[in-house]
A and B are shown apart, each in its own frame.
Chain A
């Protein structure tokens, strides 16, 4: 969605056009849901968070000045919501990747088990990261999210975003190494 489309959709939403708001939800729901799932580690909580985020978007649209991109503003809303205790992720939570292995030989079974174990360790390590690092890690690899968007949403310079991401990844490596002994 380019900026002209964004302005138009915001204008129509402000005028109470329900179909325009539904269009806005359609455009951003996957991004919001993916981010929410990564932050909460649970589909149910992610759904609640995503719905609450869009309610806040609806309430906030009359005050949206258009200085930031709509997606950036929505990202910020999701990030703020994720810091609320009701959406805090349990450190024991592990994302279900939805990939179930079929029959395979022992070697590939061991290998996929090793991968799953590694993924589980990394998910748990991510849950132990400081809040600001966790938000950046959750948002960084989503389709269409750029360093600039993260910087704008977090209110920090782009160089700091990169530095924080490198530090977060370094912490993940350290946690993984100490886990694996």
Chain B
């Protein structure tokens, strides 16, 4: 056995993953360099095995439980905030939609000729509704999203 072959197995031998063979024993008996290296490997192995593994401090578990409760509360608060923002945004968009509808369809300017306008209003609104589809669609999406968030929050 050469020194290189012994060196390749030295840590496995020191850790006990491999057992000494006749060859390794014979090499160790004759090679002072490998004897020193093996002694150092055993020293490292013993040190690693004896490294302190301190136990968790007392009251660690209650502290973790409090931290978990706090984190859960913060997460719920954050969810509530987003839910409120979504509801406010949907209400605002819906209000914008109504305002636009009232203005574009001319309903806001109803005056003396209200009767005539009201008669024609429905037809006019239907005709001009197409221009505001994106706003209504957006408002509906936000509304649906907020309902979905609310529903998910209720379930969890």
Contacts and interface: CB of A to CB of B under 8 A. Distances in A.
B126 interface: no
A119 B50 CA distance: 10
A58 B80 CA distance: 21
A21 B65 contact: yes
Contacts of B65: 18, 21-22, 25
B60 interface: yes
Interface size class of B (residues with CB under 8 A): 20 to 34
A51 interface: yes
B68 A58 contact: yes
Nearest to A168: B11
Contacts, number: 101
Interface string B15-35: 101000000000000000000
A42 B4 CA distance: 38
Residue in A96, A122, A169 whose Cβ sees the most chain B Cβ within 10 Å: A169
B81 interface: no
Interface in B35-57: 37, 40-41, 43-45, 47-49, 51-57
Interface of A: 18, 21-22, 25-26, 29-30, 32-34, 37-38, 43, 46-47, 50-51, 54-55, 58-59, 95-98, 118-119, 122, 137, 140-143, 162, 165-166, 169-170, 172-173, 176-177
